[in-house]
Each structure stands twice: as C-alpha cells, then as structure tokens.
Amino acid sequence: QVQLEESGGGLVQPGDSLRLSCSASGRTFPQYGMGWFRQAPGKELEWVAAISDVSDIIDYSDSVKGRFTTSRNNGRMMVYLQMNDLKPEDTAIYYCAATSSFYCSGYECFNYWGQGTQVTVSS
C-alpha cells in the first residue's frame, strides 16, 4: 500500500514556475508507476503526466507538453512536477497518484491518490 501527500502549490503569476512534490510512503513505492492529474473548478479530472517505475517511460498531455516535467527519486520516495510558463488555464487542484502497474496513463488504473494541492495562476 502507498500513501501520497502533495505539496508545493500556491498562487503565482502567468509565466511563473512552480514545482510540486509528492511524498510517498510504503516499501513497494519504487515498483509503482506514478501519475499527475488536475481538476479545475467545474471541470472533469484531467490527466497531466505519467512516469514509469524506473523513469524510462514518461508522457505528458498535449496541454502541458513542453512546459511541465515530471521526475522521481525512488531512494527519497518522491515524485516531482516542475511546471514552467504557467498559464491561467493551469489553475486547478493537482493530485499525484500511484498505480501498482509499472506504468499507466489512464485514470482507471491508479489505485492510490493524494489529497491534492491547489495551484492558482492569476495576475
């Protein structure tokens, strides 16, 4: 079992950068694929990025590709989402999630979820 906790959200201006962190607990964390999702007010949950257990597969949604980068440090039990050139449409609650598969990019295969961290992009 994996427990997840996000941090690093906040209020920033358009064009700014922010790094989200996801702290994980559980001995099996290094075997889990990880993902980032977000949910804006009044909108459905949106997949943002996914990274495999050993970081050899990484993918992003078209809306963030080229601006966001995800990485992980299995030794530190951490996953990161570096967000650059933030836009108002990036405003959302961001969640990290874990799948018992080595990699997945679909909502349905993630077993464990954090409680989310708010990111607000506004001038």
* Digit-coded pLDDT (tens) for 37-95: 999 999 999 999 999 999 999 999 999 999 999 999 999 999 999 999 999 999 999 99
| 45 DSSP assignment | -
- Cβ-based burial of 47 (10 A; exposed 0-12, middle 13-18, buried ≥19): buried
Quote the pLDDT of residue 105: 86
Question: What integer pLDDT is reported at residue 1 of this predicted model?
Answer: 83
Give the pLDDT of residue 106: 82
Tell me the C-alpha distance between 22 and 79, whole Å. 5
